[in-house]
Amino acid sequence: MKKLLKNKEGLIEIGFRLNGTEIKTSVKPNETLLELIRRLGYKGTKKGCDTGDCGSCTIIIDGIAKVSCLLPAFYAEGKEIITIEGLGDVSNPHPIQKAYADSGAVQCGFCIPGMIMTTKFLLDRKPKPSDSDIKHALDGNLCRCTGYVKQIEAVKIAASKINKK
Amino acid sequence: MSENNFKVVNKRLEKIDSLSLACGKPMFCDDIDIKNMLYGKIMFSPYPHAIIKNIDVSKALKVKGVKAVVTYKDVPRIPHTTAGQGYPEPSPYDTYMLDKKVRYVGDRVCAVAAETLEACEEAISKIEIDWEVLEAVFDPFKAMEGKIIIHDEDDSKNIPDAKHNIAAKVPDLVMLKNSEPFSEAEYVVENTYEIPYLQHCAIEPHTTITYLDDYDRLIIRSSTQVPFHVRRIVAQTLNIPLKKIRVIKPRIGGGFGSKQEILLEDICSFLTLKTKRPVKIEYTRKDVFVSSRTRHPAVTKLKTGVKKDGTITDMELDVTLNTGAYGSHALTVLMCSGSHTLPMYKVKNNLKFSGRSVYTNLPVAGAYRGYGATQAFFALESQMDIMAEKIGMDPVEFRKRNYIKLGESSPVFKAMGEGREGVDQSITSIGLMEAIDRGLKEIKWYEKKERYYRLNQKSEVKYGLGMACMMQGSGIAEIDMASATIKMNEDGSFNLLIGATDLGTGSDTILAQIAAETLGVELNDIIVYSSDTDITPFDVGAYASSTTFVSGGAVKKAAGYVRDMIIEDASKILKEPKENLKVESKYVVSKTGKKVSFKEIANTAFYYHDQHQIIASASHYGRTSPPPFAAHFAELSVNTRTGVVDIINYVACVDCGTAINPTLAEGQNDGAVVNGIGHTLSESFEISQNGTVLNANFRRYKILSTKDISEIKSIIIPTYEPEGPYGAKSVSEIGINGPLPAIANAIYDAVKIRLFKAPFTPDKVLKALKESK
């Protein structure tokens, strides 16, 4: 990893890939990665607790799902980051996004981007997850609206759609 | 109309905002960037009860980037309630935007606006306060002794007995008296049931952004369930004209009652008016736990009399609620603890309710899904099982025998409303018998009871089954009003403008389904815009299980008026009498086979003949509040060595009339049930001796996650409610009332211990097991 230094303003200059785009920016030493991502305009990543407990800010960093509120922004240096906006859009949604929407898994929707990123990480590793795999994977993503019933269903639907491709 | 004829209603259609939300579109309050915006932060009290003798903000004002520091000296002193209820609110006016006195750890002290959040925090650390710390009281029964008076100010209004810290009371309300109480009872059962402080835990923290528009009007963008009440209460508390305020509700990330409250909008608005800059205040998760609202902790005493033949002779319910430092929803939650539970079963001789909501120096309670019914159903449905055992009757049969049937009424409906007398009504739809039978079958009740009886003889892990029945209301009869406007566009699509507030429930979708059904179009022909006080017509907001029933009634009426206008225009175009015409798939078709498209009708109206906009508005209020009914069944195991209760299966059958969207109705039920199971097994505030909440985070206040849930099954039992739009009743709240009693009953079935204090954590289970030996 490159050694990071503060510039004259006390900011740290970093570069990373965000949803396929090269980003060059400077960050405050105490800025979190969640704050940086939202500052850059990617508002799909949510702040639900800021203490790493709710999972709403989950993103994928170099292929691994992580909560961005617990990471410093400069951690992004040299990394490949995917947020919910990087998965798909309304006109061309990712099968996981489509499955969540189709199956009634989205109520208020605030926890959903984080949950979808966790689901992506799960299905990348385990294309045919068992119920227990799904429950263990999503355990760090809290939702108060749905009772998780339809979300677990959505993961199964997404898995079968992806596997058919 | 029978449900089989529906084309859009009662269909499992995709929620209209779900894909955009799943794609992470910036739809929530905090998802917009406003230029020049300041951050606001509230300083919270470190003391449970204290007076600010002197406050010095001079050092705070010198912090770089700080634009305003406001204390009680700077704001208007106007007593009000933060409860977002209809006017005049039945809650006491005991709150001030900022006050010289603080009444709980987490109460507002002052507020800061600055260029950055760090500057706000630094400024708060530099505020110097000379405190006079007062003795505090945390127990409602001690508070009633009146040795410490929390609201001793002389300008509060409608506090029934401030000297004894009583924020609301219902004196002995005798609703039935046919004999000397308990004189005919063969068994008298009396128990006390308790629930602790519980928080809503909406995943989106409360957020408000305020700014001035180009005409210097105040715009409030807020995560609220009650935009119109926000407008009214902010106008009241800031003493500014209502017409100068516009409230916009974007998507909101769950509410469950915690956002039926004016929590940030007043102070944020004040900071904007003072600085002339946009200001954002966002609660941290800790703030949400401590300084938003909670469920009222309750001590519920239930005394019942029963005869061996299964007749319930007497029922006396006495409820003591801890309302915390302010009396938000103090009277109405109290009354709903009786009005939503006592009509459930027929009582032969005596029926009485009494209760009070008491101030303490603890966090403030308010509206929370279930609204009093959750507290009292824990008592009632536990006691139903206790009574059934006393008389040796199957608890299922005991309930079936006694629950209120179709066409029957209860004296409770008339006696108890929300903060006032209620409305006489009889039951116009009920599917409880089917709900019970379906649930018994689904959970294999009798078969498993027998198997577990044998299994439990030898195993350390004991299995049990329990059930509970429940009801709620559908809006507040003769109080809640909603309205809708529908206008037609050239392509035959429609704008639906509604004051109704979708807090993630899917109400925008189901209201559009009702409009589409009435207009003979598809769901995607309806463009929904909701909850903007400048643009959408009035609606009380999302609470009291009202939106489907009340707002749905308004939408159906408005759509009916628009349909009549379309037919009127079509009749001229087709030269056919109106009686021959009906709407169907975006056409008006005649019995004679002639037809004209909506597109042509709209274009004719706009451009060719007798030009006009096809548009209509309608309002609706419920003359009654038809209860939904539900039967819940829990199957669980209790580990007698560790005290751990594991839910194996949970079946929740609900009669919500016609489910306008069955997928979304199931989702409401699933969510309510899992929230209720959390209440039952793990959730509770830990509070220190000085009134500080010690577990104000998700790590130590444990809400359920995927690993904690077992098989949850929601089953909709269709009925048709004649008072509701297309036969619909409410569904959002009822499901949260079941888990506490159903699980308490199942634990009793497994290990023969009766738990009266929620939550049923392993330590409590073990203690009870030990005591029973």
Single out the residue in B601, B621, B641 at which a domain terminates. Answer: B621
Taken as a whole, chain A contains a residue count of 165
B200 touches chain A (CB under 8 A): yes
Note whether B116 and B210 are same-domain residues.
Answer: yes
Q: Is the dihedral of CA B406, B407, B410, B413 positive or negative?
A: positive
Q: pLDDT at position A23, please?
A: 97
Number of domains chain B is built from:
2
The token duo for B558 is 């408005």
> How far apart (Å, rounded) are the C-alpha atoms in residues A148 and A103?
12
User: What stretch of H or E contains B337?
Assistant: helix B330-339
In this complex, which of B26, B200, B671 lies closest to A147 when CB atoms are compared? B671
B735 touches chain A (CB under 8 A): no
B116 touches chain A (CB under 8 A): no
> How far apart (Å, rounded) are the C-alpha atoms in residues B234 and B126?
29
Q: pLDDT at position B419, please?
A: 81
Which of B203, B286, B524 to mutate: most A Cβ within 10 Å? B203
- Does B728 reside within a domain? no
**How far is CA B734 from its chain centroid?**
10
Which of A107, A134, A142 to mutate: most B Cβ within 10 Å? A107
- Does B568 reside within a domain? yes
- Does B157 reside within a domain? no
Nearest CA in chain A to B31: A43
CA A134, A136, A141 angle in degrees (round to 5)? Answer: 90
**Beta-bridge partners for A12:** A6, A27
Collect all residues of chain A within an 8 Å Cβ-Cβ radius of residue B714: 149
Q: pLDDT at position A165, please?
A: 76
Are B667 and A104 a contacting pair at CB < 8 A?
yes
Q: What is the DSSP string of B38-87?
A: EEEEEEE-SSSSEEEEEEE-HHHHTSTTEEEEE-TTTS----B--B--SS
Instruction: State pLDDT tens for residues B397-424.
Output: 999 999 999 999 999 999 998 888 999 9
B461 touches chain A (CB under 8 A): no
> How far apart (Å, rounded) are the C-alpha atoms in residues B494 and B484?
12
Which of B13, B19, B285 to mutate: most A Cβ within 10 Å? B19
Instruction: State pLDDT tens for residues B98-129.
Output: 999 999 999 999 999 999 999 999 999 999 99
SS3 label, residue B263: coil
pLDDT, mean of residues B690-707: 97
Per-residue buried b or exposed e for B459-474, using 16+ beta carbons within 10 Å of the residue's own CB: eeebbbbbbbbbbbbb
Distance (Å) from the C-alpha of residue A61 to the closest C-alpha of chain B? 17
Note whether B43 and B19 are same-domain residues.
Answer: no
- Does B766 reside within a domain? no
Collect all residues of chain A within an 8 Å Cβ-Cβ radius of residue B709: 135, 147-149
Note whether B22 and B38 are same-domain residues.
Answer: no
Collect all residues of chain B within an 8 Å Cβ-Cβ radius of residue A87: 23
Q: pLDDT at position B4, please?
A: 62
The token duo for A59 is 């993103």
Task: Report DSSP state, residue B483.
Answer: E
Q: What is the DSSP string of B412-477?
A: HHHH--SSS-----B-----HHHHHHHHHHHHTHHHHHHHHHHHHTT-SEEEEEEEEEEE--SS-T
> How far apart (Å, rounded) are the C-alpha atoms in residues B659 and B737?
19
- The number of C-beta contacts closer than 8 angstroms across A and B is 185
Considering chain B, what is the average pLDDT of its residues? Answer: 97
Note whether B128 and B59 are same-domain residues.
Answer: yes
Note whether B45 and B18 are same-domain residues.
Answer: no
- CA contacts within 13 A on the Cβ side of B155: 8
Contact (Cβ atoms closer than 8 angstroms) between residue B128 and residue B56: yes
Q: What is the DSSP string of chain A?
A: -PPP-B-TTS-EEEEEEETTEEEEEEE-TT-BHHHHHHHTT-TTS--S-SSSSS-TTEEEETTEEEEGGGSBGGGGTT-EEE-GGGT-BTTB--HHHHHHHHTT--SS-SSHHHHHHHHHHHHHH-SS--HHHHHHHGGG---SSSTTHHHHHHHHHHHHHHHH-
**pLDDT at B143 > cutoff 50:** yes
Q: pLDDT at position B1, please?
A: 43
Closest CA to B333 of B302, B369, B291, B304: B369
Determine the residue type at B226. Answer: V
Are B21 and A109 a contacting pair at CB < 8 A?
yes
SS3 label, residue B568: helix
Collect all residues of chain A within an 8 Å Cβ-Cβ radius of residue B712: 147, 149
Strands B279-282, B38-44: parallel, antiparallel or unpaired by DSSP? parallel
Collect all residues of chain B within an 8 Å Cβ-Cβ radius of residue A109: 17-18, 21-22, 27, 251, 253, 504
Are A84 and B23 a contacting pair at CB < 8 A?
yes
SS3 label, residue B220: strand
In this complex, which of A89, A108, A140 lies closest to B204 when CB atoms are compared? A108
> The CATH number of the domain where B247 resides is what?
3.90.1170.50
**B109 CB burial (10 A radius; 0-12, 13-18, 19+):** buried
| Residue numbers of chain A with a pLDDT score lower than 50 | none
**Beta-bridge partners for B595:** B589
Single out the residue in B621, B638, B656 at which a domain terminates. Answer: B621
> How far apart (Å, rounded) are the C-alpha atoms in residues B484 and B474?
18
Are A150 and B663 a contacting pair at CB < 8 A?
yes
Contact (Cβ atoms closer than 8 angstroms) between residue A15 and residue A77: yes
Contact (Cβ atoms closer than 8 angstroms) between residue B394 and residue B388: yes
Q: pLDDT at position B217, please?
A: 98
- Does B582 reside within a domain? yes
- Does B669 reside within a domain? no
Note whether B555 and B593 are same-domain residues.
Answer: yes
Distance (Å) from the C-alpha of residue B496 to the closest C-alpha of chain A? 20
> How far apart (Å, rounded) are the C-alpha atoms in residues B374 and B702?
19
The token duo for B541 is 């907001």
> How far apart (Å, rounded) are the C-alpha atoms in residues B258 and B185?
42
Note whether B578 and B560 are same-domain residues.
Answer: yes
- Does B589 reside within a domain? yes
Show the domains of chain A with their CATH numbers: 12-86 (3.10.20.30), 95-164 (1.10.150.120)
> How far apart (Å, rounded) are the C-alpha atoms in residues A128 and A131?
10
Are A46 and B256 a contacting pair at CB < 8 A?
no
Distance (Å) from the C-alpha of residue B687 to the closest C-alpha of chain A? 20
Note whether B494 and B604 are same-domain residues.
Answer: yes
Residue with tokens 């109106």: B578
Note whether B93 and B215 are same-domain residues.
Answer: yes
User: Model confidence at B573, in pLDDT bands (50, 70, 90)?
Assistant: very high
Nearest CA in chain B to A55: B203
> How far apart (Å, rounded) are the C-alpha atoms in residues B630 and A145?
19
> The CATH number of the domain where B572 resides is what?
3.30.365.10
Q: What is the DSSP string of B671-712?
A: HHHHHHHHHHHT----B-TTS-BS--STTTS----GGG--EE
Is this complex scored with an ipTM above 0.90? yes
Are B23 and A93 a contacting pair at CB < 8 A?
yes
Q: What is the DSSP string of B384-406?
A: HHHHHHHHT--HHHHHHHHB--T
Note whether B551 and B612 are same-domain residues.
Answer: yes
Q: Which of residues 632-691 of B touch A (CB under 8 A)?
A: 663-664, 666-667, 670-675
Closest CA to B13 of B522, B628, B727: B522
In this complex, which of B21, B666, B697 lies closest to A106 when CB atoms are compared? B21
Note whether B61 and B83 are same-domain residues.
Answer: yes
pLDDT, mean of residues B39-67: 98
Question: How much of chain B, in percent, has pLDDT values that exceed 90?
Answer: 98
End-to-end CA distance of chain B: 59
Per-residue buried b or exposed e for B681-697, using 16+ beta carbons within 10 Å of the residue's own CB: bbbbbebeeebbbebbb
> How far apart (Å, rounded) are the C-alpha atoms in residues B259 and B161?
28
Note whether B209 and B263 are same-domain residues.
Answer: yes
**pLDDT at B89 > cutoff 90:** yes
> How far apart (Å, rounded) are the C-alpha atoms in residues B482 and B621?
7
Closest CA to B712 of B737, B688, B739: B739
Contact (Cβ atoms closer than 8 angstroms) between residue B5 and residue B88: no
B243: Cβ contacts below 8 Å, ≥ 6 apart: none
Nearest CA in chain B to A100: B22
Single out the residue in B621, B636, B655 at which a domain terminates. Answer: B621
B481: Cβ contacts below 8 Å, ≥ 6 apart: B538, B539, B540, B550, B619, B620, B621
Determine the residue type at B382. Answer: S
- Does B769 reside within a domain? no
Owning domain of residue B239: 34-134+204-253+259-291
